[in-house]
A and B are shown apart, each in its own frame.
Chain A
Amino acid sequence: MAAPARSERWIPHFILAVGIAIFAFPIYFTLIGSTHDAATIGRGDMPLTPGTHLVENFAQAWNLGSGEKVRGTPVRAMLLNSFVMASAITLGKIAISLISAYAVVFFAFPLRMFFFWMIFITLMLPVEVRIIPTYKVVSDLGMINTFSGLTVPLIASATATLLFRQVFMTIPDELVEAAKIDGAGPMRFFWTMVLPLSRTNIAALCVILFIYGWNQYLWPLLITSSREMETIVIGIVKMIGTGDAQTDWQIIMATTIFALIPPVAVILFMQHWFVKGLVETEK
């Protein structure tokens, strides 16, 4: 094949560079904003070069979460809430999906397919279509403003169960046979064979689910009302409030940077697992 003409070589670079700029600019602008003081941003003629208030703004956001005009929850508390919520959702989804897929694939029992379809159908019941009644259930159970209320209702997972079911189906019958001959019971087989064989799928799923958990919005908005329970995504939106020009933008922008670091770091450092997880769960 002939080498592409000169023009064909720079066009992809140019278009991709424009794309990258469109994705990066909002972050750059926010990062620069977090290094200036409230007055500079409030005047509206903030320069596109870093200011001198970086440390001060980030320290204030971290320790107090508020400036002179907005009152917020300290970023360190909100990050911890987000982290606990995202981890609990991730681990919960993976744990209960692993064991239910294991039951469906490796056992024959009455109602097996009925249970499988029950789990499958939850795909069609996103929280948005059952907001009020689900809220009522959580409130009747006394789970408003608790971490269990924030996470347990979200840990059912049809996608994870389907994925693990597919993985388990590829485990050869001979392996199960050999284990049975060696006298291994079902739980021993689960721990020593099934779990190690699924570890790459678990890792890939972890990345996707952590981001899913971290980015939750509607559910924490409904279930938490106390300051102590605020996640960082909710916290930022609350700090902006009506969005008047005269507010502590530099603190809000520093908080936004803090909120972006964990999920973006997960994607950048676990890119391989991330792409694998994304493509697999959608199959």
Chain B
Amino acid sequence: MRRRVIFDNKVLPYLLVAPQIAVTLVFFFWPAAQAVYWSVLLQDPFGLRTQFVWLENFTTVLSDPLYLNSVRVTAIFSTAVTLLSMGAGLLFAAMADTRIRGVQVYRTLITWPYAVAPAVAAVLWLFIFHPSIGILGRALLRLGIPWDYKLNGLQALILVILAASWKQVSYNFLFFLAGLQSIPKSVIEAATLEAGPARRFVSIVFPLLSPTTFFLLVVNIVYAFFDTFGVIHALTGGGPAKATETLIYKVFTDGVINVDLGSSSAQSVILLIIVVTLTALQFRYIERKVHY
């Protein structure tokens, strides 16, 4: 990555990197180090004495039924959001990749929800599924389904999954469409002689899309884990009875609302390990892509 021709200047390069390095040190590395430091300390209830407790905070967190509940919620939530939004994105991309009229218009009309903030997506779904003002919420009640996501945990989970996926489809759509359009037309035409459209998609197109699919898988898991805080905060607040409390939401509740430093820091460190794993996976994919 070295250039042959470079400028020589002893001070200027440091001045140029200084702003970014200052921000990363003060607001990224120092706080992350603090989180690791606090995760091995225990404070007494009055915050007067602090002692080093090795991994006690971690064993406490990992054996806490409430934490295990949020692990379960996160697993269901992220799996559902990833499958739903990638599935819908792929379906719409495959349809828009056909030679039909008005593809540009379709593309624009499917792309715009990318602009909607997760919290605003949640609000839009709340308007529709509210048990007393929402058109679909009331329709469900009329059908005899006791719909109230503020009381029923399963319904709350379904609603946050739908709102979070709705917002993410456009992203997957754009990447799948780009992936589909990069498949050489000659390959598709050759396959047309052999098989019908459905079989052609399963045995030729989908395998060729695998780099895009893998990349999107990682991006969607990261989205479901970290970027959906707003959806849950706006719709259910983690409730009812912690039915929608994901790992991120629990760090927020324990740290900001309950001010439990040790536990919240241990949870942060666990999340940190998850992010590092996911990022490493993502970059492995990029390295693989270079060989293609």
In the assembled complex, A91 has its CB within 8 A of some CB on chain B: no
Instruction: Point out the residues of chain B lying under 8 angstroms from A22, CB to CB.
Output: 166
B88 on interface, CB distance cutoff 8 Å:
yes
B40-59 Cβ-contact flags toward A at 8 Å (1 or 0): 00000000000000000000
Across the two chains, which residue of chain B brings its CB closest to A278?
Answer: B174
- Greatest chain A CB density within 10 A among B27, B38, B265 is at B27
Give Cα distance in the complex from A134 to B269, angstroms. Answer: 14
Chain A positions within 8 Å of B7 at CB level? 106-107, 176, 180, 185-186, 189
B133 and A23 within 8 A (CB): no
Confirm or deny: B20 has a beta carbon within 8 angstroms of a beta carbon on chain A: yes
Is B4 close to A, CB under 8 A?
yes
Q: Which of B264-278 contact A (CB under 8 A)?
A: 264-265, 268-269, 271-272, 275-276
B226 near A126: Cβ-Cβ < 8 Å: yes
Instruction: Enumerate chain B residues within 8 angstroms of A169, measured Cβ to Cβ.
Output: 1, 3
Point out the residue from A222, A240, A245 that lies within 8 Å of B126, measured CB to CB: A240
Q: How distant is B244 from chain A, measured CB to nearest CB, in Å?
A: 15
**Stretch of B62-70, B71-79, B113-121, B153-161 with 4 or more beta carbons under 8 angstroms from chain A:** B113-121
Q: How far is the CA of A227 from the CA of B6 in the complex (A)?
A: 51
Count contacts on A: residues with CB < 8 A to the other chain.
Answer: 106
Measured CA separation A133–B189 after assembly (Å): 57
Q: How far is the CA of A255 from the CA of B241 in the complex (A)?
A: 30
What is the interface residue range for chain B against chain A? 35 or more
- How does the 8 Å CB contact mask read for A123-153 relative to B, with 1 for contact and 0 for none? 1111011111111111000000000000011
Residues of B within 8 Å of A132, CB to CB, are 35, 38, 255-256, 261, 264-265, 268
Q: Is B200 an interface residue (CB 8 A)?
A: no
**B119 adjacent to A217 (CB under 8 Å):** yes
Residues of B within 8 A of A (CB): 1-10, 12-14, 16-17, 19-21, 23-32, 34-35, 38, 88, 91-92, 95-96, 98-100, 102, 106, 108-120, 123-128, 130, 132-133, 135, 138, 150, 166, 169-171, 174-175, 178, 189, 192, 197, 215, 219, 226, 229-230, 233-234, 248, 251-252, 255-256, 261, 264-265, 268-269, 271-272, 275-276, 279, 286
